[in-house]
Copies of this chain bind each other. A is one copy, B any other.
Amino acid sequence: MREGPDIARIASLVGDPARANMLNALMGGTALTASELALEAGVSLPTASSHLSKLMEGGLLTLASQGRHRYYGLAGPQVAGMIEAITGVAEAVGPKRVRPGPRDGAMRVARVCYDHLAGEQAVAMLDRLVEKEILLRDDKEIRLGPSAAPHFAAIGIDLDAKPRRPVCRACLDWSVRRSHLAGTLGAAILDKILAEKWARREKDSRAVIFSPPGKQAFERVFLG
């Protein structure tokens, strides 16, 4: 019985289904609030809170308090790498799905990441907005371009009427490995997509399904 780093302690933190679901959700790269993580894990808020404090104590999470919101995020790339490694083993060992189910395909195309759109559609949209210089990206930051306010106003999105959360944020997309648009603007765009009924959210999933006319409309407005 040798003494080493307490690997069992770390592994058992990930070994609870509720906590595993939370960590999995955080693999998207965005920090999430306790209630979102509770929903994600399928447990009540008190239970989630208990799990979160354990994960914090275990050093797997970081906490950013913003007013009455508390955003939990993965503690770092090393933790993310560990989750990825465990996921890899679980996939290799688990029932080998011959075909990646349709839900997985839909998730890759478009899904909800916290409160904004993620997936191939979202990455394409950000690319196009930057290309048209409506948004400007320096390094890893995204800022509004001069034509941003009128452009979004024309679509029905008012950039000024937003709370103090950052308007633009880059959020790393796990399926495409590139950034998509987060922040209040990202959230407002997702709101519009759902309000216009261009797409609907799959029940009990983060997948977002565009209707054929909805997809056309979306592409006309944001990719045109």
CB A136 to nearest CB in B, in angstroms, measures 20
Mark out the residues of chain A between 88 and 120 whose CB falls within 8 Å of any chain B CB in the assembled complex: 88-94
Q: Is the CB of B177 within 8 A of A5?
A: no
A4 within 8 A of B: yes
CB A102 to nearest CB in B, in angstroms, measures 13
A47 within 8 A of B: no
Instruction: Produce 1/0 per residue, A1-21, CB < 8 A to B.
Output: 110111111111111110111
Instruction: Produce 1/0 per residue, A30-56, CB < 8 A to B.
Output: 000000000111100000000000000
User: Could you list some 12 contacts between A and B, CB below 8 A?
Assistant: A2-B205, A5-B90, A6-B94, A8-B21, A10-B93, A11-B11, A11-B15, A11-B86, A12-B14, A12-B15, A81-B172, A82-B82
Taking A82-B88, A84-B85, A86-B86 as known contacts, 16 extra A-B pairs with beta carbons closer than 8 A to each other, sorted by chain A number, are: A2-B24, A2-B205, A5-B91, A7-B20, A8-B19, A8-B20, A10-B89, A10-B93, A11-B20, A11-B86, A12-B15, A14-B15, A78-B89, A81-B88, A82-B89, A85-B172
